[in-house]
């Protein structure tokens, strides 16, 4: 059964269930107000919550209808071109018709946390018309999967609705209870989600970013986010009651939320529903709600690990700009290339090679040139040296938020890189605003970031986007969007005034930030002895740094420390071996904010890898190897916290041991305070 239609007088109630019948979505239209309700196995997930938009129409190709509508609404406030009617679509609707369908298929990813993604869902489309003589047509499309629910709005082509200004979205998320929520604030700390997660009750929050993750009293884990953010503003959640949020779209500087042209669709509003924290991690809902790949050929898209002229700048050992300590000199880059070649790493990121870094680059990015090198850096020489060593440069475009300056140079900049065999570029937008006035996560930013990914694809270039708009699964459509920042990464452990990321941070990320997609977190610290800011450094043990390669997914994965800190350390072997794309992922055990253990299968072989991490509390984790293939023995290469390891006092000791394990076995691992364990499992012949 997909849906039930229960018309009673003017009221309507429609239901659509997940294929496994555990999730039920009900759509109701009562007194003209559309609402949705979600339950999971009879437990309330979302209580009746209203849905809709506030639009301000513009008369495009004016028709009789649009003239009528303006008269009908009686709120003509503007010129002929714009603002000639205001329509609160939250008021009243009539049901026009209903469609239902279902899908049971699967699709393959070019890289990811799973090779194959099952797409099983039931769909209900409700066609509505707003009340009044010249009502506006609006569809709501619900898709219900076994792992959650997505719904989106569509405004079909219709007479009188041409250009549209979205002033507000009215989607409510009403919970049955004042749940616990893991959240970060919107814009108050920075514009690009680089905050530590807080845990509080809903009533202790104000406006929060998505993904926002909830734990209910009856044992459910929920994550609210969005999928396929295309030419729209991102959604944040504004608290409107002890148990309720409403969608708050990030505005343009003039207050408008979205400029659109019918026909158009909103991004999907997504609610992942799980019974264990790990269900959030393994959910594929967001990917399933994105469009299939738009690139004809993806053979050039290759996950890889990289080092970089990077940490040295954050440690204030080198500079981005010119001077005696300039980092990106030809000579130093060649040394890094040698190191990468020797150790089988594919890429060397080079930051600070191009002109524009001198002075206040993060306040005024208009001086950046993306094609002119500093005199002590020779792109041609280093690119050919890299090619000789089977290594590639990773390019860098820091814009300082000056998007217009970047867009003017973008084609030339990508063409230059392509000409030198550079097929991956890290972009950056350090500034509170883009072009002095627009948020990174408003429609302005969303349009720009998409333009970069599409342009880069034409030059066969992969993108690692820092200071981005949050990920919403677009890597399905554009798999050259490899990874993003959009979270508080390890760089904070160099210069943050607050002591750096606490040990709990990485035990929260898999259930929050990571639901938005790959994260260029930059793990890999081996030297804990630096002091840029007294009291601030990486708050983990070295073994936990290794485990993060399994826990934090990024198909472009950095070995972030200086090459000299890896030389001669046997633990580096794990970083050399660990894959950065996986054919399968399992969360073996987790308590959000306390510990996480994951197992992931290599994309290219039958090897498995395990990462287990803890917060500041030491603990013993019992590993259950039942996920391994029955009947096979595996050589386990175990990188565990060594004797006396402690993230505060003694982070370095790593004990490397080997043993044979198989599916029926259990094994205890000891995690030090702030510690972790990384294991490689190689099937034995």
Residues designated as active site = 491
Task: Please spell the DSSP secondary structure of 165-194, one letter per residue.
Answer: EEEEE--EEE-SS--EEEE-BSSSS-SS--
Closest CA relative to residue 524, chosen from 559, 498, 573: 559
Q: Which is nearer to ligand NOJ, 194 or 602 (CB)?
A: 194
DSSP-assigned letters across all residues of 404-438:
HHHHHHHHHHHHHHHHTT--EEEEE--SSSBTTTB
CB of 464 to ligand NOJ, least distance (A): 9
491 contacts ligand NOJ (rule: CB under 6 A): yes
8 to 47: interface string for ligand NOJ, x by CB under 6 A: ----------------------------------------
Pick out residues in 570-599 that bind ligand NOJ (CB under 6 A): none
Q: Strand 424-428 relative to strand 116-130: parallel, antiparallel, unpaired?
A: unpaired
**Could you tell me how many residues of this chain bind ligand NOJ (CB under 6 A)?**
8
493 lines the binding site for ligand NOJ (CB under 6 A): no
* DSSP run (H or E) holding 451: helix 443-458
Q: Distance (Å, rounded) from C-alpha 44 to C-alpha 183? A: 21
φ, ψ for residue 356, nearest 5 deg: 125, 0
- Specify the residue, 239 or 513, whose C-beta has the smaller distance to ligand NOJ: 513
The tokens describing 65, both together, are 């209808």
Interface with ligand NOJ in residues 395-454 (CB under 6 A)? 398, 428, 430
**Contact flag: residue 351 with ligand NOJ (CB under 6 A):** yes
CA distance 384 to 370: 19
- The answer to whether residue 310 forms part of the interface with ligand NOJ (CB under 6 A) is yes
CB-wise, 310 or 336, nearer to ligand NOJ? Answer: 310
Q: Which is nearer to ligand NOJ, 248 or 351 (CB)?
A: 351
Whole-angstrom Cα distance, residue 329 to residue 382? 10
Kindly state whether residue 346 participates in binding ligand NOJ, applying the rule CB under 6 A: no
Residue 645 Cβ vs ligand NOJ, minimum distance, rounded to whole Å: 28
246-261: buried (b, 16+ CB within 10 Å) or exposed (e) per residue?
Answer: bbbbbbbeeebbbbbe
Contact between 123 and ligand NOJ per CB under 6 A: no
513 binds ligand NOJ (CB under 6 A): no
State in angstroms the smallest separation of the CB of 485 from ligand NOJ: 5
464 interacts with ligand NOJ by CB under 6 A: no
Burial per residue of 357-376, b for 16 or more beta-carbon CB atoms within 10 angstroms, e otherwise: beeebeebbbebebeebbee
CA–CA separation, 275 and 215 (whole Å): 10
Q: Name the residue nearer to ligand NOJ (CB basis): 266 or 399.
A: 399
Kindly tell me which residue out of 147, 279, 378, 485 binds ligand NOJ, with binding defined by CB under 6 A. 485
Smallest separation, CB 161 to ligand NOJ (Å): 41
Q: What is the DSSP-derived secondary structure letter of residue 369? A: -
CB of 185 to ligand NOJ, least distance (A): 19
- Provide the minimum distance between the beta carbon of 569 and ligand NOJ in the complex, in angstroms, as a whole number: 24
Alpha carbon distance 405, 399 (integer Å)? 8
Taking the least distance from each CB to ligand NOJ, the nearer of 154 and 430 is 430
Query: Closest CB to ligand NOJ among 313 and 623?
Result: 313
Q: Angle 379-388/330-343 helices, nearest 10 degrees?
A: 10
Phi, psi dihedral angles at 428 (to 5 degrees): -150, 150
Other CB atoms within a 10 A radius of the CB of residue 134 amount to: 23
Question: Closest CB to ligand NOJ among 283 and 506?
Answer: 506
d(CA 466, CA 476): 19
CA–CA dist 295, 342 (Å, integer):
33
Q: How far is the CB of 466 from ligand NOJ (least distance, A)?
A: 4
State in angstroms the smallest separation of the CB of 310 from ligand NOJ: 6
Separation of alpha carbons 594 and 609, rounded Å: 21
466 binds ligand NOJ (CB under 6 A): yes
Nearer to ligand NOJ, 123 or 485 (CB): 485
Quote the least distance from Cβ 194 to ligand NOJ, whole Å: 8
User: Rounded CA gap, 549 and 678, in Å?
Assistant: 8
- What are the residues binding ligand NOJ (CB under 6 A)? 310, 351, 398, 428, 430, 466, 485, 491
């Amino acid at each position: 059964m997909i849906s039930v239609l229960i018309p009673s007088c003017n009221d309507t109630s429609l239901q659509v269930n997940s294929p496994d019948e555990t999730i039920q979505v009900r759509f109701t239209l009562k007194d003209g107000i559309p609402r949705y309700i979600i339950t999971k196995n009879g437990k309330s997930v979302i209580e009746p919550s209203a849905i809709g938009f506030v639009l301000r129409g513009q008369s495009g190709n004016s028709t009789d209808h649009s003239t009528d509508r303006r008269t009908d609404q009686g709120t003509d406030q503007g010129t002929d071109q714009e603002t000639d009617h205001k329509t609160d679509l939250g008021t009243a609707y009539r049901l026009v018709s209903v469609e239902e369908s279902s899908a049971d298929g699967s699709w393959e990813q070019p890289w990811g946390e799973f090779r194959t993604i099952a797409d099983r869902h039931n769909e209900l489309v409700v066609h509505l018309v707003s009340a009044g003589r010249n009502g506006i047509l609006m569809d709501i499309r619900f898709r219900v999967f076994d792992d959650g629910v997505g719904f989106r709005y569509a405004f079909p082509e219709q007479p009188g609705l041409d250009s549209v200004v979205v002033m507000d979205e009215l989607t409510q998320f009403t919970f049955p209870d004042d749940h616990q929520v893991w959240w970060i604030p919107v814009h108050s700390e920075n514009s690009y989600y680089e905050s530590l997660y807080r845990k509080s009750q809903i009533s202790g929050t104000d406006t929060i970013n998505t993904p926002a993750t909830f734990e209910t009293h009856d044992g459910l884990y929920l994550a609210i986010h969005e999928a396929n953010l295309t030419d729209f503003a991102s959604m944040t959640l504004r608290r409107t009651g002890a148990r309720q949020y409403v969608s708050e779209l990030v505005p343009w500087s003039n207050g408008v939320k979205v400029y659109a042209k019918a026909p158009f669709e909103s991004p999907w509003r997504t609610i992942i529903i799980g019974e264990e924290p790990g269900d959030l991690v393994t959910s594929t809902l967001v990917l399933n709600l994105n469009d299939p790949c738009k690139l004809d050929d993806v053979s050039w898209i290759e996950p890889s690990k990289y080092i970089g002229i990077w940490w040295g700048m954050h440690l204030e050992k080198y500079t981005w700009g010119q001077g005696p300590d300039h980092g990106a000199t030809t000579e130093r880059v060649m040394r890094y290339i040698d190191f990468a070649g020797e150790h089988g790493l594919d890429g060397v990121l080079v930051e600070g090679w191009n002109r524009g870094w001198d002075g206040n680059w993060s306040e005024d990015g208009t001086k950046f040139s993306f094609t002119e090198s500093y005199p002590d850096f020779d792109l041609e020489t280093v690119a050919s040296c890299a090619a000789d060593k089977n290594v590639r440069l990773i390019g860098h475009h820091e814009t300082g938020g000056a998007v217009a300056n970047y867009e003017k140079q973008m084609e030339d900049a990508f063409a230059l890189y392509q000409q030198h065999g550079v097929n991956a570029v890290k972009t950056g937008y350090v500034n509170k605003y883009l072009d002095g006035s627009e948020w990174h996560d408003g429609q302005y930013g969303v349009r720009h970031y998409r333009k970069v990914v599409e342009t880069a694809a034409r030059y066969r270039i992969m993108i690692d986007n820092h200071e981005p708009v949050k990920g919403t699964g677009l890597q399905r459509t554009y798999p050259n969007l490899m990874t993003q920042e959009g979270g508080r990464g390890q760089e904070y452990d160099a210069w943050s005034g607050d002591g750096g990321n606490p040990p709990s941070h990485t035990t929260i990320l898999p259930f929050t930030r990571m639901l938005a997609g790959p994260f260029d977190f930059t793990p890999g610290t081996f030297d804990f002895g630096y002091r840029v800011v007294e009291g601030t450094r990486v708050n983990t043990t070295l073994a936990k740094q290794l485990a993060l390669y399994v826990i934090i997914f990024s198909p472009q994965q950095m070995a972030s420390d200086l090459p000299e800190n890896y030389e001669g350390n046997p633990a580096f072997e794990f970083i050399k071996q660990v894959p950065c794309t996986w054919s399968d992922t399992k969360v073996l055990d987790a308590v959000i904010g306390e510990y996480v253990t994951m197992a992931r299968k290599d994309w290219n072989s039958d090897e498995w890898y395990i990462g287990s991490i803890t917060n500041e509390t030491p603990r013993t984790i019992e590993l259950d190897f039942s996920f391994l293939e029955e009947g096979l023995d595996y050589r386990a290469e175990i990188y565990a916290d060594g004797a006396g390891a402690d993230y505060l006092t003694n982070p370095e000791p790593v004990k490397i041991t080997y043993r044979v394990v198989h599916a029926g076995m259990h094994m205890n691992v000891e995690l030090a305070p702030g510690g972790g364990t990384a294991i490689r499992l190689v099937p034995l012949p």
